[in-house]
Structure 1
């Protein structure tokens, strides 16, 4: 069938080899096979009804086994019949080795899910991932007692930094069995073709052979941006990239769920330019150029020139569906000369052909700028500067493939320059001194998201031992 190998990768298709070509030619999907009547399927595919019934029953039973609700597995309790204590025993997390960060994450990064760490360059993404590579080797409840697999698409694994964390982090002091670099496997994927091959064929073998508890992909966007942002049609590139992202998301989620391991991917960000500030809005009636009515043959008085950025009654607000309630209709500035009435302006005709009528603007609640604030981690603060908004790369298609998104934010800290005697330093007396960093839970299935802006976010610093949260008393100082 068209999607059977994607829905059920392990389905035994050999015994149904005589049926699958006809189903493929008639584009019968797995959902149609389970929902349509057998008589309709027989007329559509010209296949025997008895054989179709056997195939439908086999696919349905395979789906029950895949979901863990099959009655033919007495040794494995059904997921629908498990109690809260059974689910709690299966729940496991990997610690960040910091109490405040773990508390914000509900105990740490959970197994069985795909978690994304997103942030700007220098926000601490790599330090977060390196900490996870060491923490997964610890016994429960801080780790899983299992090795880790690191997949790099950009820079190779920094073993020097890992060794520094092992020496400097106070959490590892006094442990009988410390994490080692020998239990961290690493590989590099320089292009998208090798990345897909490694994830589909080599990674499952390594997970089975070494009982891997953590898979780190750093970063998920590098090869996709290099492959699909060069040449070709934009529409075809976006469609192919979306299909590849869905396929990779399904593969990572299947690995996390089947082997009860954690998949953590790093993602990059790009600047977001809200459409309300892009100046691409359609000009209204008040944006008519004054030269049209100022010709000598026109009996109408010249119209007052109005800047194109002036809001008008026809432009839909772009920032929030509630913003239109606080904005009234356009009013001329005080002291401006009276202009002709609206009927007079409508009556103005130009010798140039009129443009075709445009579609009515979409409601503000359906605009991408409004929806991004709930899934990206930037823009949910109503008082934030929209020029500083960021958006995780790969778009909303990739956002639907991950279970959790953790955003790492940073802001500069400025201070006075230290002037050395007998030196004439150009410029002012202010310089960049440091960076402040926060960790924010955007969305997750096991813990509520952080509040608007930095409300509820955990401030942390990067030191020689890894990540360390900053206490409130120290923040006040």
Structure 2
């Protein structure tokens, strides 16, 4: 207890003079009084238990007084009746105060907003991921205009756009401003403008870190920015850390360690900006193909419970992540749809590291996560192939007929974001309007359009979508932005070329492609 007066200079030591010598004899500190149980202290010091409880309560109350944590400096009473009768301390935040600070940015479509529980939340880092052409950039450009609208559509604040690949596409923004009827219906003073969108380009990771650390906070505080967009977050990391990925294994390991540290640093920077200034941070992310050990096309997948399915077909229906490289050389079992039990252990192959261990005199390496030291197989629930379905957006449907993807930057980056929104696209075929072309076989279907879906993978404010794209919201890209496809339009084939009159704005968007779009930066990304 020699540090008691150093930690709490005003503590009334005289009231507990009979206890201090025994505590000092056994080397107990102030930290021990705050963390250890009173019974444990009594066993070591042989002091009365009631006196120890009074001393611990007095130390805790004195510490609260020093930190100004409570308005009542008196210690809480020891007996239960008095403790229950004592008024509880005031909460730091109430439901009303939290609700007043909750703001979202609309996608300007009620169906999409309903799936997102109101839109993109302020104070959080939201990721929009998907393959090329899925509509990521179209979502981002819509948010750049929507944030300038007054509530409930936006925050009434400007936006900051940071690009790692191509400059901001002002032509497409101007097209949205002219075509969206909502912008024309608001008051002219609240109408979005390109002047309220600040943009910059960061060609490498060093400049990106400098912008997020120094330049962005200044602009956010000076202009009261409500939305920060980073498009895309994976480009600079791929250019910086994957250039030496083909080197020795030791160099590759240190390279991945440095990348993980940089990812954590960038995630911390974005979260601090979102919380400090109560703005929405939205980043776009690229995806990588996920290949399985059997390299079976996704279109040949069948349900695991289909009759007549052999064990080899069960194993062929698995697509593993590039992160699960330790399972190569032996096909993985089908990913279970339920938590495994001990009776299922015999149906899963042992790890390849276990087989090597029995044929060599080299000391065995440490077991992999989820694998015991005696070589028993890891429970499927602990494997990455089983877990990634809940944080990647792909792989949660056992009978998926589309190629599985994995968001770039891996699991480390997935832990840095608050919400992940996955965008899917699938081709829509139809009969060609130029059936007399010599180079085209008569009657062969041709690509007419793309169908797109939006899926909530995980979010703190919105429920996650179901498996696959069954519960995802289908949307389309029009001249006015993004728009959900209604059920009657899907039934009548709108979006696949059967009803051109009801798809006029999308046809105009395709016909003006030469003027509106400029390479990748204005493609439907």
- Quick one: distance in 1 between partners of 2:213 and 2:446? 48
- Taking structure 1 as reference, are residues 70 and 124 closer, same or farther at Cα in structure 2, changes over 3 Å only? farther
Task: Specify whether residues 327 and 476 from structure 1 end up closer, same or farther in structure 2 by C-alpha distance, changes over 3 A only.
Answer: farther
Matched ranges for 1:380-419 at <5 A:
380-385=396-401, 388-419=403-434
**Alpha-carbon distance change, 261 to 382 in structure 1, aligned in 2, over 3 angstroms:** same
Secondary structure of the 1:434 match is strand
Q: Which residue of 2 aligns with 1:476?
A: 491
- Counterpart pick for 1:99 among 96, 110, 127: 110
Superposition deviation, residue 417 in structure 1: 3.1
> CA distance change for structure 1 residues 79 and 381 in 2, over 3 Å: closer, same or farther?
farther
User: Retained in 1: the 8 A contact 2:315–2:333?
Assistant: no
> Where does residue 274 of structure 1 map in the other structure?
292
Cα separation, partners in 2 of 1:81 and 1:328, compared to 1, 3 Å: closer
* 1:375–1:442 contact (8 Å) kept in structure 2: yes
Q: Does 1:130 align with 2:149?
A: no
Aligned position for 1:304: none
TM-score, normalised to structure 2, is: 0.63
Q: Quote the offset at 1:424 in angstroms.
A: 4.8
| More deviation, 114-123/170-179 | 170-179
* Residue of structure 2 equivalent to 1:86: 97
2:174 is aligned with 1:163: yes
> C-alpha separation between the residues in 1 aligned to 2:395 and 2:271?
28
Matches within 5 A, 1:201-212: 201-212=214-225
User: Hey, which bits of structure 1, 4+ residues long, moved more than 4 A?
Assistant: 34-38, 69-72, 275-278, 307-312, 321-330, 357-360
Matched, 1:183 2:201: no
Q: Is the 2:294–2:331 contact (alpha carbons within 8 Å) kept by the matching residues of 1?
A: no
Deviation at 1:80, TM superposition (A): 4.2
Matched, 1:257 2:275: yes
Tell me the residue number matched to 1:286. Answer: none
Q: Report the alpha carbon displacement of residue 365 of structure 1 after superposing the two structures with TM.
A: 1.3
Asked if 2 retains the 8 angstrom alpha-carbon contact of 1:381 and 1:452, the reply is: yes
1:277 Cα deviation after fit: 5.3
Partner of 2:260: 242
Structure 1 residues 36 and 277, CA, compared in 2 at 3 Å: closer, same or farther? Answer: farther
- 1:306-359 CA distances to partner (integer Å, 9 max, x unpaired)? x999979x98625227598999999xxxxxxxxxxxxxxxxxxxxxxx833984
Alpha-carbon separation, structure 1, partners of 2:144 and 2:314: 54
Question: Per-residue CA shift, 1:40-93, capped at 9, x if unaligned?
Answer: xxxxxxxxxxxxxxxxx9xx99xx9xxxx9669xxxxx9943221111111100
Q: In structure 1, which of residues 443, 464, 474 is the aligned counterpart of residue 479 of structure 2? A: 464
Q: CA deviation at 1:213?
A: 0.4
C-alpha distance in 1, partners of 2:90/2:279? 18
User: 1:170: how far off?
Assistant: 1.4
Unaligned runs of 5+ in 1: 1-33, 39-56, 73-77, 279-306, 331-353
> Structure 1 residues 70 and 115 mapped into 2: Cα distance closer, same or farther (>3 Å)?
farther
User: Which residue among 213, 220, 224 is the counterpart of 2:233?
Assistant: 220
Distance 1:79 1:249 in 2: 33
Question: CA–CA distance in 2 between the matches of 1:135 and 1:111?
Answer: 13
The 3-state SS of whatever aligns with 2:449 is strand
Aligned to 2:211: 198
The counterpart of 1:355, out of the listed 355, 359, 367, is: 359
Structure 2 unaligned regions, length at least 5? 1-29, 35-59, 72-88, 297-310, 317-329, 348-357, 365-374, 493-525
CA 1:424–1:253 in 2, change beyond 3 Å: closer, same or farther?
Answer: closer
Larger deviation, residues 408-417 vs 187-196: 408-417
Q: How big is the shift at 1:141?
A: 1.0
CA contact (8 A) 1:316 1:361 kept: no
TM-score by length of 1: 0.69
Deviation track 1:84-129 (CA, whole Å, cap 9, x = no partner) reads 1111111100010000001110111000000000001000000000
CA distance in 2, matches of 1:409, 1:310: 26
Structure 2 equivalent of residue 75 of structure 1: none
The equivalent position to 2:394 in structure 1, one of 378, 400, 423, is 378
DSSP 3-state at the match of 1:173: helix
Partner of 2:438: 423
Alignment size in residue pairs: 361
Residue 444 (structure 1) shift: 0.4
SS in 2 for 1:388: coil
Show the counterpart of 1:151: 162
Equivalents in 2 of 1:315, 1:219: separation in Å? 34
Pairwise CA distance, 1:219: 0.2
- Asked if the contact 1:117–1:407 (Cα under 8 Å) also holds between the matched residues in 2, the reply is yes
1:266-305 equivalences in 2 (<5 Å): 266-275=284-293
- Per-residue deviation, 1:237: 1.0
Distance 1:414 1:245 in 2: 40
Counterpart-to-counterpart distance in 1, 2:181 and 2:243:
47
Deviation at 1:36, TM superposition (A): 8.3
* Structure 2: distance between partners of 1:310 and 1:142: 48
- The answer (yes or no) to whether the contact 2:345–2:379 under 8 Å persists in 1 is no
Q: How large is the Cα RMSD of the aligned pairs?
A: 3.4
Q: Is the Cα contact below 8 Å between 1:93 and 1:143 reproduced in 2?
A: yes
Q: Identify the match of residue 185 of structure 2 among 130, 150, 174.
A: 174
TM-fit CA distance, 1:259:
0.6
